[in-house]
Amino acid sequence: GKYKLVETKSLPGYKKLTEPVSFEIKKGMTEVLPLKVENEQIDKGSVEITKVDKDSQKALEGVVFEVQDEKGKVMKEVTTDKDGKANVSDLSVGKYKLVETKSLPGYKKLTEPVSFEIKKGMTTVLSMKVENELLDKGSVEITKVDKDSQKALKGVVFEVQDEAGTVVKELTTDKNGKAKITDLSVGKYKLVEKESLPGYKKLMEPVSFEIKKGMTEVLSLKIENEMVDTGNVEITKVDKDNKAPLAGVTFVVQGEKGNEVKKVVTDKEGKANVSDLPVGKYELVEVESLPGYKKLEKPVSFEIKKGMTASLTFTVENEMVDTGNLEVTKIDKDSKAPLEGVVFEVRDSKGKVVKKVTTDKDGKANVSDLSIGKYELVEVETPAGYKPLEKPISFEIEKGRVTALQLTVENELVDTGNVEITKVDKENKDALADAVFEIQDEAGQVVAKITTDKKGHAQVTNLSVGTYKLVEVKAPKGYKQLVDPITF
């Protein structure tokens, strides 16, 4: 009869016979029928890839591989599952490369392909364990802004320092306020602001940050800078006319409520500095000027604004005093005793009477607030017994005079005198005319001879100082002549 030889189980590494072998047993056969059956070794193979974290051995899902043949042709693209596995089956006998085309975020991509070979007769799946290492570098982006307006700040200089304080990188913010540093090794760092912008406070404390293994995103650091909230003032005090510096002028800086914030005195260069004034409005008040100078009447207002980079400068001019005072002292020339009641006129250069004053019991008379210029002091009323001042006294009030001009005026007693005689009847007191008298000095010499008029009067003027005798040399008709002279 006819039969089929069917292979039901082959050997490992061999292809099982797919077609049965037919044979026939014929009548009268005397020999055993020989059947030679050849088996071919398997010419396909399978690969199982297992992708894990190098350190933790944790399965990595989502890693993409290409299986490339010897010519670089992509035979298969596979992606690891949740167990980190990817299988490639029915790979023909030959040499292959496993190329990682997409790694996971935070992991270094495999840089070298993994080579493998499918050999004839392979009976088991080729297993490949591929380890991925976490990234050990990171990047930082700094954004520098104004604290209040959030405006980007260009030109701020930073140093990135490692834990040992070594400068790893120096960077400067761009027009968008940004500065970036890449490929920082894993570790702890400090961001130190080395150079701020004018008008801004420099960051006092460094900003600490850390680059961790497997970082996938750029570390963003937003740093706010606050504008300077204090300012400085420099005062320069000068003479209004010659611009010479004035030392020793005292100023007080007052706040808006009139409170004293600072007191300063100008130095030899006429300068005084006030530093670290908080933002706000102020007044500069001159509290003590120099002798001979007018004190500043109105305060100087100023304001310290946020972000001021330079000192606020003031040049304050002081004008010399343009009025002066006069003190007249009137005394007796010989005894120096004060003379009360002497009247003076102060006349300007055109002869106009500016002031009229009278000496007091101390012989003094004061004239204040005389404008700069030339004057004359004219005596218009003299005490009895004193010679009047013949010539006016010239004086000048100069700019910047700090004390009263002192004028001591001496008056001399009169050195001649006048005598008036009145001759009357002893009984009825009627005036007697025609009585003749001689005035004799101490030596008996006649210095004057006088006769009484119808009113009984006779006068002698300009008699020098001395002792005299009045001698009647002829009596009126019908009267006795005076026997004894009258001494005076």
- pLDDT digits 0-9 by tens, 63-99: 999 999 989 999 999 999 999 999 998 888 889 999 9
pLDDT in tens, 100-115: 999 887 788 888 999 9
Q: Which of 285, 150, 315 is nearest to 227 (CA)?
A: 150
pLDDT, position 415: 66
Q: CA 411 to CA 338: how far, in whole Å?
A: 10
Residue 198 near residue 245 (C-beta atoms within 8 A): no
Domain 137-225 matching CATH 2.60.40.10: the answer reads: yes
pLDDT, position 216: 72
pLDDT, position 11: 67
What are φ and ψ of residue 424, in 5° steps? -135, 160
pLDDT, position 449: 94
Q: Which of 34, 31, 61 is nearest to 49 (CA)?
A: 61
Mean pLDDT of 332-361: 87
Helix (H) / strand (E) containing 227: none
pLDDT, position 93: 82
pLDDT, position 305: 86
Tell me the fold of 247-309: Immunoglobulin-like (2.60.40)
List every span in the chain annotated with CATH 2.60.40.10: 44-132, 137-225, 247-309, 323-411, 416-487
In terms of CATH architecture, what is 323-411? Sandwich (2.60)
pLDDT, position 350: 84
The predicted model scores a pTM of 0.41
**Residues 6+ away with beta carbon under 8 Å from 443:** none
Higher pLDDT, 270 or 324: 270
What are φ and ψ of residue 470, in 5° steps? -100, 115
pLDDT, position 42: 52
Mean pLDDT of all residues belonging to the chain: 85
pLDDT in tens, 33-74: 887 766 665 567 789 999 988 888 999 899 999 999 989 999
Domain 44-132 matching CATH 2.60.40.10: the answer reads: yes
Query: For 416-487, which CATH class?
Result: mainly beta
Residue 434 near residue 452 (C-beta atoms within 8 A): yes
pLDDT, position 420: 93
